Structures are given as C-alpha cells and as structure tokens.
Amino acid sequence: MPGRDAAAPPKTVVTDLAGRQVEVPVLANKVMAIGPGALRLVCYVNGADKVVGVENLEKQQPTGRPYILAHPELKDLPVIGQGGPDSTPDAEKLVTVKPDVIFVAHLVGRTKADELLAKTGIPVVVLSYGILAAFDEDVYQSLALIGKITGNEKEVQEVVAYLKNYQQDLNSRTKDIPAEKKPNVYVGALAVPPG
C-alpha cells in the first residue's frame, strides 16, 4: 500500500470501553478521534500530532474547545464528517485519511463501532466518559487505551495523576459537609453542545 512502511507495525488486542476485543497496531502514528469528546481525550495525552483529520464541528466552535486553541494546527486537517452526537461518521472520508486506528466516543455501542469497522477495515476503539466525566474510571481507562495504542503512556500517567489529585483535593475540602448540605455546582466550559 503506498505511503505505508513495508513492515507492518506490531499489533496487540485491547478491550475497549464497549467490552469489544479489538486488534490494533502499536504504536499507531495516525489516528482519528470522532464523536463528542474523543479528540479532547487524544489531545489530553499529547496525541494531537498523530491526528490526521477532524470533524467539521471541531472547526466551527474552537473557542469552546480549548484543545483546538492549544493545537490550532488541527483546524488545518481534512474534514472527515460533520461530527456531533447524532452524526454518522463518513466512512469514505475516514478511509481517505488512512488512520491506523479510529477512536470513537458517544456514538457508541458495539453495533455502531462494529459497523464502522466493517465499512472501513480500520480498527475502531470505543472510549467513554462514564457517569462522572473528568473523575470517572472510564475516563482513566479511555486515556490508558489511547496511551497504549499511541505510545503516549507517560503522558497518560501524568494526566491521570493530575485528575486524581484534584479529585482528592475536592473530596478533602468537602468531606466535613453533610451530603444534604453540599451545594450543587455547575462546571462551565468542559464542553460546548453542538449547534
């Protein structure tokens, strides 16, 4: 295949957040991150330089996406589909940018991931934010998968330690407040809804 190394990268099998066993290349040098939150997770572990295309939604509202502000070069990449929670990925556009692996979030479920794999022939790894978003074990597992597949494991350790440190800090600050007296809070700018 033109543009690929003669020797295929070694492969391993990972279990994604939908419980699927997926054979992936390690170390993947070209990745796609589709669905709300997937590109954010890839950027968290310093993987922006491996991204080969972006969804149009990522280009439309960069001010609500600090990872795009931190990596403006992402806006210059080819568009591989509209993006957003109700968008179906464009398999033809995905194939044209030739990623080694596709990370997906919030499209998900086994069926859609398996359908995308069948259409593209490219390994599809499902990520998740779980219930608690930033402080959820699913986020840590998602970051670990990205790190293992891309070789950014050191960055994953740093990010997870950082998040856990802040979670511990918040827990210690509120430990003496009875549950019924803890105020509800709103976290702004974590994500911007499509539209």
Helix, strand, coil % in the chain, rounded to nearest 5: 45, 15, 40
Q: Is 50 exposed, middle or buried (0-12, 13-18, 19+ CB in 10 A)?
A: buried
Q: Per-residue pLDDT for 3 more than 70?
A: no
Q: What percent of the chain shows pLDDT beyond 90? A: 56
Reported as a single tens digit per residue, the pLDDT across 57-114 is 888 876 678 888 899 999 999 999 888 777 778 899 999 999 999 999 865 567 888 9
Phi, psi at residue 107, to the nearest 5°?
-105, -10
Reported as a single tens digit per residue, the pLDDT across 36-51 is 889 999 999 999 999 9
- C-alpha 192/C-alpha 165 separation (Å) is 25
> What is the per-residue burial (b if ≥16 Cβ within 10 Å, else e) of 22-34?
bebbeebebbbbb
Q: Per-residue pLDDT for 4 more than 60?
A: no
Q: Per-residue pLDDT for 195 more than 60?
A: no
**Domains of the chain and CATH, by start:** 11-175 (3.40.50.1980)
Distances (CA, A) of 23 to 42, 117, 137, 182: 19, 11, 23, 45
Reported as a single tens digit per residue, the pLDDT across 24-39 is 998 999 999 998 889 9
Q: Could you tell me which residues come within 8 angstroms of residue 31 by beta carbon, excluding any fewer than 6 positions away?
A: 42, 47, 50, 51, 52, 99, 100, 101, 102, 103, 149, 150
Please report which confidence band the pLDDT of residue 9 belongs to, taking 50, 70 and 90 as the band edges: confident
Strand order in the sheet with 101-105: 31-34, 101-105, 124-127
